[in-house]
Amino acid sequence: MKKINKLFAAMLFIGVSVFSLTSCEEEEFFYDGESFINFKSTTLNTVENRSTILSVPVFLSTNSHPGDVTAEIEISGGAKEGVDYTIVEGKTLNFPAGVYSDTVKIRMIDNEKVDGNRDVVLTLKSNTAGFNLGYPGPEHTNSSVSVTIVDNDCPLDASKFTGDFAAKYTDTSDNSVYNDQSTITPDANDPTAFTISNFWGEGLPAKVKFDVCAGTVSIPSQQFSSNFYGYGPATLTSVAPVGTFSESKGKITVTFNIRVSAGSFGVHKAEFTKL
């Protein structure tokens, strides 16, 4: 009796195993509708300082792949190619025999300008097989995708730092103070840069640059004079601590140093307050 039970148990195990193996096989699915090409999504977001290429997938669905299908992409939107982004590949999509997906690849361009969010719209325009563009139906859903490029630069109200300013210079070595007046004007080519006239009372201009998102301001290293008091070329630059600004008060505070080949004129703090 024990032998029969053992044999029955073995047969039962084999039967269950075979059932398990056959029932776990994947069932193949064959698409039997209208052929179409579509974007995976209709909207995407990215940032203009994205360091990696943005991949936008496109799919082909058909029950009879004719092979070597190509599709053309139309590009529109407020973003400008070559200024805000570059299409690395994918203006023409390729679906060789047995291939059912392709990708539009976009590289973002960080323009370092406060110009708001912009969008680039990719639209399926045509294809060599005459397939539907987007899902079948009157709406042609997913025949286009809108990519929003989010501006990573913070807005700055330039009017708060344009005009006449009271200038206060403090020698950090002995706290002696020198007062004067300057006019500040925005840089025509850089919305985060301004030119200060009569810097340090020398009648010479100096450029300052704002990092609006960080809330800081600095003096980029620049030639201040070609012959400063007979000492030869002088270089003006920011030194620690980091400069600050206040839009509500119309005030800029920055610490600087002027150097010539013979040495330094010391560290000074400059404060500009709008009149």
Q: Could you give the CA distance from residue 77 to residue 144 in angstroms, rounded to a whole number?
A: 12
Among the candidates 115, 131, 150, a domain finishes at 150
**Are both 175 and 97 inside the same structural domain?**
no
Q: What is the pLDDT of residue 30?
A: 59
Q: What is the pLDDT of residue 264?
A: 94
Q: Is residue 170 in some structural domain? A: yes
Q: What is the pLDDT of residue 101?
A: 96
**Are both 143 and 165 inside the same structural domain?**
no
Give the range of the structural domain holding residue 260, as residue numbers without chain letter.
Answer: 158-274
Q: Is residue 184 in some structural domain? A: yes
Q: What is the pLDDT of residue 114?
A: 74
Q: Could you give the CA distance from residue 27 to residue 71 in angstroms, rounded to a whole number?
A: 31
Q: Which CATH number goes with the domain that contains 237?
A: 2.40.128
The answer to whether the Cα torsion of 125, 126, 131, 137 is positive or negative is positive
Q: Which CATH number goes with the domain that contains 46?
A: 2.60.40.2030
Task: Record the tokens describing residue 164, joined without a space.
Answer: 């006449």
Degrees, nearest 5: CA angle 165-169-174: 165
Residues forming beta bridges with residue 269, ordered by sequence position: 170, 255
Structural domain count of the chain: 2
Q: What is the pLDDT of residue 212?
A: 82
**Are both 63 and 99 inside the same structural domain?**
yes
Residue 196 and residue 211 in contact, taking contact as beta carbons nearer than 8 Å: no
**Are both 162 and 269 inside the same structural domain?**
yes
Q: Which amino acid is at 202?
A: E
Q: What is the pLDDT of residue 12?
A: 34
**Are both 120 and 74 inside the same structural domain?**
yes
For the chain, 275 residues long, the average pLDDT of each consecutive 10-residue run is 31 38 49 89 93 96 90 96 95 96 96 84 97 95 95 84 97 96 93 94 95 88 94 95 91 96 95 97
Q: What is the pLDDT of residue 120?
A: 97
Q: Is residue 99 in some structural domain? A: yes
**Are both 131 and 201 inside the same structural domain?**
no
Among the candidates 150, 169, 200, a domain finishes at 150
Q: What is the pLDDT of residue 4?
A: 29
**Are both 164 and 270 inside the same structural domain?**
yes
Q: What is the pLDDT of residue 192?
A: 86
Q: Could you give the CA distance from residue 23 to residue 143 in angstroms, rounded to a whole number?
A: 38
